[in-house]
Structure 1
Amino acid sequence: MVNMRKYYIDNIRILCILMLFPFHTAMIFNGWGENWYVHSKALFGATMLDLAVYPWWMSGLFTLAGVSAVYSLKNRTVKQYIQERFLKLFIPLISSILLVIPVQAYIADRYFNNYIGSYIEHFAVYFSLTDWSGYDGHFTPGQTWFILYLFVISMITLPLIIWYKNKENKISGKSMTIMKIVPMFLIILLAAPILDIGGKSIGEFAADFLLGYFILSMEEVQARLEKYRIPLGLAWVILIIMRCTMYQMSISHGLLWEVQQRVLGWIGILAIMGLGKKFLEFNNKFTQYFTSAIFPIYIFHQSIIVIVGFIVVQTVRVPVIQYFVIMGTSFILTIIMYEIFRRLPVTRFLFGIKKDRRNKLKRTINKSNGKLKC
């Protein structure tokens, strides 16, 4: 059986998930007035980092999910696909909202509102709804909004995907020239107002997902992105510089800002896929480890950053040092938490953690060679 796995897709996803640590640590130091769950003195570098990363980063994760759905449905029936979405997205979502996310709202309430009750007592506050952010101590899905959106989008787009799979006349990858692919940011822009909840649009991310599924999953398109990786990469960098400059010029609201965000997001996705196909198509022990770890890392990381940040901003005086201490410590603790939870059947089930199949694979390979070794 031919291995259809695209290692560079996995590796781009790994890099995006590892970007969580500098990105969400930077939220503690953002300069646009968002208190987040813990806040310290604004840092210019942290502010620019978040402004530069967000437009292509989260959109990219939804797009990669759309690309991956193509390969997932090649190996699964529709029923198996739905079951997999339920087990790997819905159950971890509920588990996280009950067991992982509440600590963020609790710490926000303590930090900003001087809440003095216990963590258990705070659940009465947490399970009441205000603006969904959790910055005031009330309910929030926290970082698992991505899992919630991905589950919803996976389900609502499934009828369209099934219809297309059964359709005889499909989109031709050969016809998808770079001049047709680049303007597709307009689809994302037009979808952005649909079901926009707190600045996160289900319509926009569904458009990313579907463009990944229908367009960027095609071999001809991926080859074309690799061919044009240099101009796409240069355009990506220029658009990032433009966005940071616009912010400094106080052009951070209105139609121009919204259009620029979607252009930057789409060009960033195209550039990352083109560069990734050229330079990231490899598989080693590091990538194997993080391919399995990235989903639980996503679930755990933000709560740990908030806990560590709460302690560090009150004990370390220099903001730059705070930043690197929070980021480094949070990464280590997140990996430790993952290592503990992946060894326990209950937490593996609750948080969608894959079983470690490396030893089983080694035994299978050795057995096939007539040398069974454990």
Structure 2
Amino acid sequence: MQRRHDIDALRVIAFSLLILYHSAMVYVADWDFHIKSAYQVEWLQYPMIALNRWRMPLLFMISGVALGLAGIEGRRWRFAGSRSLRLLVPLAFGMLVVVPPQTYFQVMAQFGYTGSFAQFYPLYLVHGLCRGDQCLLTPTWNHLWYLAYLLPYTLLLLAAIPLLRWLRERLGDAEPNRLAAALLLALPILWLLGVRLWLAPRFEETHALIGDWTVHAESLPLFLLGYVLATRTGFWNWAQRLRWRTLGVAMLAIGMELGLRWLGHHPPAGPMPEWTLQVPWYTVERVARVTYTWMALLAIFGWGRAWLNRPFRWLPYCSEAVFSWYILHQTLIVALAWWLIPMRLGAATEASLVVAGTIAVCLLLHEGLIRRIGWLRPLFGLKPRPKPTA
């Protein structure tokens, strides 16, 4: 297996950002979440949008890159069995053990449920709870939906390896020429634009796997593309060389999207100029959105290769820990917020304690229990501990 320190580091960073993102969901105004603080602000939407546009596309593309670097072609069906087990076990454990507490706090906060957790858990296992026409279907995977999607994506990739290898060989190892570079810049944007203009209005993003066509159309191609590009040295050199330009275009695109969003919420007083009525602003905003997504991914990969492709001392530990932190973090966020919100500590203090508490408990549980107890490791996606050498 080839070792790409920049890809490992980007994976750690991307998963780490989930703690900040999901903590901020408690405080961002007008966005639904399992539990909401009294301290909600609208301005938080803008950095959240800037992060949200690429955080999951990055994770899916990194997952594809990791498979491309793993050299699985000669053992793909054996790998299918091991990968299925490594994803299904923590997913099932998460749904049965880790997720129920956050769902319990949610039904208390949103549905006014007053029973104990022991009374709630059988309801969680069987059919969930309803309030009027609003129902919470359980069991649920909540934030663990990424694992539920990664498994079928991986099996599809393994089945398509002959075609994907052919595409990879056609790309070659040289840097893209002008035509290939133009296609690498334009085709993903055009695909994502089609998803946003055609699929997204028809199929709401549900994270329910079945029928979630908008998410599949965005995530699966990026996952497969990551596999195809994983070993193409020319592509990574090209992304690194263009990193300033892709960063600049990404900043312009997100500035346009957020600017149009702000104007939509705060229209200027007085009549609008005639020419503005002729502009298809929805399409312009969608173009800006998808341009930002792809340019941000290219910039992240380019800057990651420039700055992160070295064996940091912290990287092996964090690469192992990130999976258990991912499984634990949202339940800890919801539990801490439920405990802190009634104290009325102030926005900065409350939010800081939610983030710091989540990090501290993740560290304590991973370091003190998960990585040290053999039977816990597979429940959190960790490989078995290596046997000591004689």
TM-score, normalised to structure 2, is: 0.82
Q: Matches of 2:148 and 2:102 in 1, distance apart? A: 18
Aligned to 1:80, the other structure's residue is in SS state: helix
Tell whether the 8 Å contact from 1:106 to 1:137 is kept in structure 2 after alignment: no
**CA distances 1:21-77 after superposition (whole Å, capped 9, x unpaired):** 111100001123424333432124532221110111110000011111111234760
Q: Matches of 2:23 and 2:111 in 1, distance apart? A: 21
**CA distances 1:256-275 after superposition (whole Å, capped 9, x unpaired):** 44443322211111000000
Map of 1:171 onto structure 2:
171
Q: Matches of 1:169 and 1:284 in 2, distance apart? A: 31
Map of 2:276 onto structure 1:
none
Tell whether the 8 Å contact from 1:6 to 1:281 is kept in structure 2 after alignment: yes
1:198 partnered with 2:206: yes
Code of the residue aligned with 1:198 in structure 2: it is T
1:228 partnered with 2:247: no
Code of the residue aligned with 1:185 in structure 2: it is I
Tell whether the 8 Å contact from 1:11 to 1:280 is kept in structure 2 after alignment: yes
Map of 2:190 onto structure 1:
186
Map of 2:270 onto structure 1:
none
- Say what the alpha-carbon RMSD is for the aligned residues: 2.8
How much does 1:130 deviate? 8.6
Code of the residue aligned with 2:264 in structure 1: it is S
Tell whether the 8 Å contact from 1:342 to 1:355 is kept in structure 2 after alignment: no
Aligned to 1:38, the other structure's residue is in SS state: coil
Residues 64 and 313 of structure 1: CA distance in aligned 2, closer, same or farther (over 3 Å): same
**CA distances 1:305-354 after superposition (whole Å, capped 9, x unpaired):** 11011111221331122111111111111111222112122211222113
Aligned to 1:73, the other structure's residue is in SS state: coil
Match of 1:13 among 4, 11, 14: 11
Tell whether the 8 Å contact from 2:128 to 2:135 is kept in structure 1 after alignment: no
- How many residues are treated as equivalent by the alignment? 356
Code of the residue aligned with 2:153 in structure 1: it is I
Tell whether the 8 Å contact from 1:97 to 1:141 is kept in structure 2 after alignment: yes
Q: Matches of 1:168 and 1:185 in 2, distance apart? A: 20
Within a 5 Å distance, the mapping from 1:258-297 to structure 2 comes to: 258-297=286-325
Within a 5 Å distance, the mapping from 1:13-162 to structure 2 comes to: 13-74=11-72, 77-127=75-125, 128=127, 137-139=136-138, 140-162=140-162
Residues 89 and 260 of structure 1: CA distance in aligned 2, closer, same or farther (over 3 Å): farther
Residues 83 and 30 of structure 1: CA distance in aligned 2, closer, same or farther (over 3 Å): same
How much does 1:216 deviate? 5.3
Q: Matches of 2:128 and 2:119 in 1, distance apart? A: 16
Aligned to 1:122, the other structure's residue is in SS state: helix
**CA distances 1:352-373 after superposition (whole Å, capped 9, x unpaired):** 113455x95xx6xxxxxxxx9x
Tell whether the 8 Å contact from 2:27 to 2:37 is kept in structure 1 after alignment: yes
TM-score, normalised to structure 1, is: 0.86
Greater shift, 277-286 or 173-182, is seen at 173-182
Residues 316 and 137 of structure 1: CA distance in aligned 2, closer, same or farther (over 3 Å): farther
Residues 197 and 39 of structure 1: CA distance in aligned 2, closer, same or farther (over 3 Å): same
Code of the residue aligned with 1:281 in structure 2: it is N
How much does 1:167 deviate? 7.8
Map of 1:368 onto structure 2:
none
Q: Matches of 1:302 and 1:271 in 2, distance apart? A: 28
How much does 1:129 deviate? 6.2
Q: Matches of 1:255 and 1:126 in 2, distance apart? A: 42
